[in-house]
Structure 1
Amino acid sequence: MDKPEQIRNIAIAAHVDHGKTTLTDNLLAGAGMIADEGEATRLMMDTEEDEQERGITIDAANVSMTHEYNDRNHLINLIDTPGHVDFGGDVTRAMRAVDGALVVVDAVEGAMPQTETVVRQALREGVKPALFINKVDRLISELQEGPEEMQQRLTDVIGDVNELIRGMTQDMDDVDDWTVSVEDGTVAFGSALYKWGVSLPSMQETGMSFGDIIELEQDGKRQELHERTPLSDVVLDMVAEHFPDPLDAQPRRIPRVWRGDDQTELAKQMREVDDDGEVVFMATDIGMDPHAGEIATGRVFSGTIKKGQELYVSGTAGKNRVQSVGIFMGGEREELDRGVPAGNIAAVTGLRDAIAGSTVSSVEMTPFESIEHISEPVITKSVEAKNMDDLPKLIQTLQQVAKEDPTIRVEINEDTGEHLISGQGELHLEVITQRIQKNQGIPVVTGEPIVVYREAAQNASREVEGVSPNRHNKFYITVEPLSQDIVDQIKLGEVSMDMPELERREALQEAGMDKDTSQNVEHIHGTNILIDDTKGIQHLN
């Protein structure tokens, strides 16, 4: 923990049901944190009752474990993220806290829509990917594939993932540094369920071949396969060897996520992962513990966060006093009196003003860039308390929900007085309302979900003529899509009508808008820009 070069902060991300949490169980068993018994289906990271019932990960879960590699003990701070698209906000926030993303892909299904999303989320945050192709046992036992067919299928999966990566890094100079490769050791294969895995380095070390794997799998000798090439060793060796440590990652990532003065002492401390520097912590997750209260989990970029410190929280007045600091060991939080130093992921209580995305520091500073979620709320439904006496408690609970999950929007319908919650999908809202009833004991009545309808232009339209009521004036409207760079700048708040006009023009031009157009911006609404390109003509007749 005190040696940044031996720390790896990683997230496991994938499409739903591709095996992330089962893989995490393997890694926990390999680290000696849970018993290594039978098939790896304990789902230790799915600590909520509804996660166990539904069989999916709903909340991002943190765990710290150790792994010995090249005679050095490495601390692995791991975040198991949800795979369902409705809970993609947790994936986005987790990527701010980590330096490496282990992308899990089902060998049979291949890269799926959420695979593309999690790769995009990782690359946007400057997080380096590696690939684990899971459920290879199904290629052998179900599809009866031979060595050549199996290798071709795995090659296709790797190619699909690299195609996604190249498409998202084409503007970078070092595209090849981000792609994954069997030869480089950034790809592993195996079965999380049966706890075996291989990579090129492990096959060279053990002398295993695909033919050996097929033979053992077909003969049902899965335990022998696990003993000869345990999945946890293969994956954690890959993590230790190929994912960057904080000393390597932070100098590269800080300019991406922080727009402050890079010549200051504070910037230097963050780049150098200085545990004696000023405390700089970013909360990426807010959760409630029945005993400890609100827990802010996030990345310590500088300094050492300790119990009793008085810290600033971005966007709020005054300071918050740290009540406790620790790390997560499975579902349990272990407090550390000595604090948590820079380069680690910490769980902190006492930061009452923090929300997911807050910058917390010992000195006033420019906050980190806001975490940009890929999708916005698309479905809305009303929530009312069955009993009017529960209304104040419901309001307080909804405020807490919005604080914990920025992808949830809570508002009041001014016409009806109803409380409206908007989220990423029906499952997202269903989980929220069920937890309100079960965890908070508030019986609620919900309305029918309403889907937000949106459409966008794909190409430039023809001119549409408009005439004023007195028939004396004509104007013409065309619609065309904005470039993604401009949309991103608007979402990040780098372009808005609230900024000085000259500054706005320069920002738009940097994002690719031509000079004349940038001078005629009349209004910005959402991610839409109205351009006034009118020219007056007098005495037309």
Structure 2
Amino acid sequence: MVKFSKEILERLLLDSNKIRNISIIAHVDHGKSTLTDQLALAAGLVDEDAAGEKRVCDVDKNEIEKGITIKSTSLSMVLENPDKENDHHLVNLIDCPGHIDFSSEVSTALRITDGAVLIVDAAEGCRGQTETVIRQSLQERIRPVLFINKVDRLIEEMQFTEEESYQNFLRIIESVNALLSTYSDESVSVDPVDCNIAFGSGKMGWAFTLEQFAQLYSKKFKLPVEKVINKLWGENYYDHSTKKFTTEPYSSTSGQQLKHTFCEFILEPIFKIFKLVREHEISSEGILSTDLENIISALSIPLTKEEKRKEPKLLAKSIMRKFLPAHKPLVQMIINHLPSPKEAQKVRYDSLYTGEDLTDPYATGIKECDPNAPLVVYVSKMVPMHSNTSSSMSNNVGRFIALARIFSGSLTQSTKVRILGPNYDPIAKKDVFHTSIQRLLVMIGKNTESITQASCGAIVGIVGLDKYIIKSCTLTEEGQVACMPIKNMKYSVSPVVQMGVEPVNPADLSRFVEGLKRLVQSDPLLECKQNDSGQHILGTAGELHLEICLKNLEEEYARGIQIKKSPPVVTFHETVSNKNGDMVMARSANGHNRLYMQAEPISEELIEMIKEGQLPMDDQNKRAKILEIDFEWDPSITKRIWSFGPEADKGSNILVNATKSVDYINEIQQYVVTSFQQSSSSGGLCDEAMRGVLFKFNDCNLHADSIHRGAGQILQATSRVMTASQLRADPKLVEPMYLVEVQCPQSVMGSVYSVISNRRGVIKSTEMVIGTPLVSITGNLPVLESFGLTEELRGVTQGQAFPQCSFSHWKVMEDNVYDPQSKVHKLIKSIRKRKGLKEDIPLYTDYCDTMPKQ
């Protein structure tokens, strides 16, 4: 166990080979925080009795109250390699949330780490969020190791046999490897024989890989440890009559069925300890049963009299913790199987750096993890300063620490830096700032430690950037103007749940706005915009995310201000469905210019390509070829795309110039594009952003005198003709859909079906959870219908069902928007009313000047 040593820490900060940057990822309640405690125990940050209970990374009061992780928290620790004496490593660990609403926090952690410890509950197996975090990690090219947690549940709660437990482990490992192969182009897998899988219980503080038992049995079988490891997994058996390992399940002499070696030599001793402890009667003299005394003596487990007097559950914990201490296999896996920054950046650099030249000094510095190369630092999130963050900072309220990864070069206090924001434009010199680093910190949960310098590979906290950064950015050294930023992060969730907020007392408005700015800065995903009535709209990932954000606003960032809140609402999109929409025309205000436009739907496959960045934006020829061959676009327009929009939504709508031989067309192009960006972010049905609409600018008659075809005339006419073309092409509303997963006993399945069906949900599948009396029900549910789902399910099932909702896809509502009896018509009218628009849904004739051409 290594006690915190600042001297060792500062030395390791300059040696990237001795650094491991890891994320702890899992489905909600699979045991990330309790396992993190075991590593904190190894680092001397918590004592033995507190490990597994303290949750050292739960620093937010909401986390403590709700018992779940909400914010990703960085914990830097000096750990000693169990295989080598005085071989210290700096492990920068980030404990990530498991709830889908906070998966943006997982994205910020994975961006600045190189490896991940994936945790799966032995009883529950892979769940919905397990798949999500695997996908997120592989997108960032993060190498995983696996920890199968809560093995004690199989023994005590579910009463599995050794063979049933082994088969359960096989299923979990198979599921994880199937997900790894699905989301990775490379050969990524986990295997107990490679010792990149550990089994155990984070809460009880015990764990093992095959290596621990191979070392125990190496002398007995007179075989090297490596050979014993191979014999302890898979279809391997030990025939006691011949005293040899075999791959045949039956004895060659007696014909008796043999046990898997994993069951016989690993699970059997563990199960026997639990059985003997369960049967043990507590003795005030600290006397154990003969069988129990014999087994702990055979395993050389030292127990004090006080420990022998403990109740069975605590006695089992003491025995197992001394027999198989959890931190040892964990530290071994992290050091031996997860990459150092020097290894990882060779694989990741081309997916991180946005510069076209991957041989420039900045890209090369990232690739080689060179401390002497030009400085490149990525800030992934802003962390609120706690009151005890630093004794020398007397007033931390509203201040933030930038959590950053140094990818190239070295950083010291007072370094002058150039800040490249997420919207950095090297030509327009947009979103760029200059300042100096005030302080460098190492993050240790809620606490920090000041340092003087750190080099590439390190994860540090930076003080002094919060005036310039909202959420994330890239830092370079002053004067390094050729450096391009690190790629912006992609989140697996969208801010689809909204709520309007405003101060009750208008005199509090300026303080309230300042509080909102700090709230937005504290959360990677949270969005805030102002509507036409002046109300501020918060955009969150889900109901729980919204609840936490509001609580933080009321209790911290806008404390003392009475807040008026609107009911929660959902973000919708608008689209069109008529593939042969008629062309419409609109005149400019002066009557001298006519613009002709047509709207058509874009296929869902193309929308996804655009959203995922798979459609080449910089290579016109390559893009045109894809559109012609894969999506059967007319070759006359594939090379005449003017714009993708809206820019804020990764542009799932397209504007093309389909005109032929029109005079002055180039002079109005910028006006048309500007109007397209505005129109695509505010559709004609209910002022929601459009999704998947192709606007064909078919023709225009322009006045010969440039004075009569200026911005004032063209912008308004374009806006009108675009809205008219959308409303003419059979407009539709698009709603967000959740993938909902519910685990419950079979006896309450009918109640769960009824609740989901009554909320316009559709059941996709129902499967038995192997080894349990539970079923797993999955389906799709409109986000609009999800409010109060948890409470209703708990009520009708007496608390036996708990849903997990994650954003799945966007679905077109097929009803006619102009039918007064349809749900979508009523919904659009309610949205228009909420936004202060006229309640009646407009017709295309309200915006165009003539009937469409036939």
CA shift for structure 1 position 149: 0.5
CA distance 1:494–1:281, shift in 2 (3 Å): farther
Out of 463, 468, 474, the position equivalent to 1:359 is: 474
1:284 to 376, 380, 387: 380
State the Cα distance separating 1:508 from its structure 2 match: 6.2
Q: What corresponds to 2:154 in structure 1?
A: 139
Residue 340 (structure 1) aligned with residue 454 (structure 2): yes
* Offset, 1:374: 1.5
Letter paired with 2:470: I
Higher alpha-carbon Rg: 2
| Residue identity opposite 2:562 in structure 1 | P
| Residue 429 (structure 2) pairs with residue 429 (structure 1) | no
Shift of the alpha carbon at 1:397? 1.8
CA contact (8 A) 1:47 1:331 kept: yes
Paired residue for 1:309?
A: 415
The alpha-carbon distance between structure 1 residues 41 and 166, as it changes in their structure 2 partners (threshold 3 A), is: same
Corresponding position: 1:506 with 2:622 = yes
Unaligned runs of 5+ in 1: none
Match of 2:334 among 227, 239, 251: 239
Q: Which residue of 1 aligns with 2:319?
A: 224
Q: Measure the CA separation in 2 of the matches of 1:120 and 1:456.
A: 29
Does the alignment pair 1:326 with 2:441?
Answer: yes
Please state whether the residue corresponding to 1:166 is helix, strand or coil: helix
| Residues 494/413 of structure 1: CA separation in 2 closer, same or farther (3 Å cut) | farther
The CA deviation at 1:265 is 2.1
Aligned to 1:393: 511
Q: 2:463 aligned with 1:349, yes or no? A: yes
Structural mapping, 1:121-132, within 5 Å:
121-132=136-147
1:337-379: CA deviation from partner (whole Å, max 9, x where unpaired): 2x12110101000113123330011123100111111121110
Whether the 8 Å CA contact 2:18–2:340 is kept in 1: the answer is yes
Q: For 1:342, give the aligned amino acid.
A: C
- Distance (Å, rounded) in 2 between the aligned partners of 1:52 and 1:378: 27
The residue aligned with 1:73 is: 88
1:517-528 to 2 correspondence within 5 Å?
518-519=638-639, 521=641, 524-525=644-645, 526-528=651-653
Task: State the Cα deviation string for residues 310-350 of structure 1 (Å, max 9, x = none).
Answer: 1000033441110100111232110002x121101010001
3-state SS of paired residue (1:219): helix
Find the aligned partners of 1:340 and 1:249 in 2 and give their Cα distance: 18
- Using the alignment, how far apart are the partners of 1:266 and 1:340 within structure 2? 18
> By how many angstroms is 1:99 displaced?
0.3
Partners of 2:457 and 2:697 in 1: CA distance: 54
**Structure 2 stretches lacking a partner, 5+ long:** 1-11, 218-264, 278-315, 388-392, 425-430, 586-595, 646-650, 655-692, 700-852
Aligned-partner residue type, residue 67 of structure 2: G
Letter in 2 for 1:150: S
Cα pair distance change 1:3/1:52, threshold 3 Å: same
Instruction: Map 1:45-194; keep pairs closer than 5 Å.
Output: 45-69=57-81, 70-71=83-84, 72-169=87-184, 172=185, 174-175=186-187, 178-194=188-204
Q: Offset of 1:228 from its aligned partner?
A: 1.3
Deviations 1:15-56 (A, max 9, x none): 111110111011101221111116611111111111100111
For 1:340, give the aligned amino acid. Answer: A
The yes-or-no answer on 1:370 pairing with 2:495 is no
1-structure distance, mates of 2:570, 2:91: 41
Question: What's the CA shift for 1:163?
Answer: 1.1
Aligned partners of 2:620 and 2:639 also within 8 Å: no
Structure 2 Cα separation of the partners of residues 520 and 299 of structure 1: 41
Hey, what's the Cα distance between the residues in 1 that align with 2:607 and 2:133? 18
Work out which of the residue numbers 556, 568, 575 in structure 2 matches 1:449.
568
The answer as to whether partners of 1:377 and 1:422 remain within 8 angstroms in 2 is yes
Give the Å deviation of 1:388. 2.3
Amino acid across the alignment from 2:332: D
Structure 2 CA distance, aligned partners of 1:322 and 1:493? Answer: 38
Out of 85-94 and 399-408, give the one that drifted further.
Answer: 399-408
Is 1:265 equivalent to 2:396 in the alignment?
Answer: no
Within 1, Cα distance between the matches of 2:469 and 2:201? 40
Using a 3 Å threshold, how does the CA distance of structure 1 residues 402 and 420 change in structure 2: closer, same or farther? same
8 Å Cα contact 1:466/1:474 also seen in 2: no
The residue identity in structure 2 corresponding to 1:42 is K
Q: Deviations over 1:481-514 (max 9, x none)?
A: 2258723454x9963xxx7xxx445346579856
* Shift in CA distance, 464/255, structure 1 to aligned 2, threshold 3 Å: closer
**Change in CA separation of 1:483 and 1:464 when aligned onto 2, cut-off 3 Å:** closer
Shift of 1:383: 1.0
Deviations along 1:452-505, whole A, 9 cap, x unmatched?
246999xxx9x75545689xx998956532258723454x9963xxx7xxx445
* TM superposition shift of 1:439: 1.4
Residue 536 of structure 2 is aligned to residue 419 of structure 1: yes
Distance 1:266 1:437, change over 3 A: same
* Structure 1 Cα separation of the partners of residues 514 and 321 of structure 2: 50
Distance of 2:129 and 2:573 partners within structure 1: 21
2:215 equivalent among 202, 205, 217: 205
| CA shift in 2, pair 1:211/1:520, >3 Å | farther
Question: Counterpart amino acid of 1:186?
Answer: N
Between the two structures, name the one with larger relative contact order (CA 8 Å, sep ≥ 6).
1
Q: Is the 8 A contact 2:599 2:694 kept in 1?
A: no
Cα distance, 1:518 vs structure 2: 3.6
Which amino acid in 2 is paired with 1:117? Answer: T
CA distance in 2, matches of 1:505, 1:3: 46
* SS in structure 2 of the partner of residue 367 of structure 1: coil
Q: Tell me, yes or no, if the aligned pair for 1:22 and 1:41 is still in contact at 8 Å.
A: yes
Contact 1:521 1:532 (C-alpha < 8 Å) held by counterparts: no
d(CA) in 2 for partners of 1:401 and 1:493?
A: 34
- Counterpart selection for 1:405 from 523, 527, 542: 523
Could you say which residue in structure 1 is the equivalent of 2:556? 439
Q: 1:103 to 1:123 in 2, by over 3 A?
A: same
Please report how far the alpha carbon of residue 109 of structure 1 lies from its aligned counterpart in structure 2 after TM superposition: 1.1
- Length-normalised TM-score, structure 2: 0.57
RMSD (CA atoms): 2.9
C-alpha change, 1:455 and 1:29, in structure 2 (3 Å) is: farther
DSSP-derived class of the 1:482 partner: helix
Shift in Å, 1:222: 2.7
Q: Distance in 2 between matches of 1:125 and 1:246?
A: 14
AA at the equivalent of 1:345:
I
CA displacement, residues 80-124 of structure 1 (integer Å, 9 cap, x when unaligned)? 011111111110111110000111111111111111111111111
Secondary structure of 1:370 counterpart: coil
Partners of 1:509 and 1:202 in 2: CA distance: 56
| 1:521–1:531 Cα contact (<8 Å) kept | no
SS at match of 1:183: helix
Q: Is 2:150 the partner of 1:25?
A: no
Query: Given that residues 377 and 423 in structure 1 are in contact (C-alpha distance below 8 angstroms), is that contact kept between their aligned partners in structure 2?
Result: yes
- Paired residues of 1:327 and 1:345 also in contact (CA < 8 A): yes
1:296 alignment counterpart: 402
Rounded to whole Å, the distance in 2 between the matches of 1:327 and 1:451 is 39
Report the more deviating stretch, 504-513 or 326-335: 504-513
Q: Distance in 2 between matches of 1:519 and 1:532?
A: 15
Alignment of 1:467-478 (within 5 A): 467=582
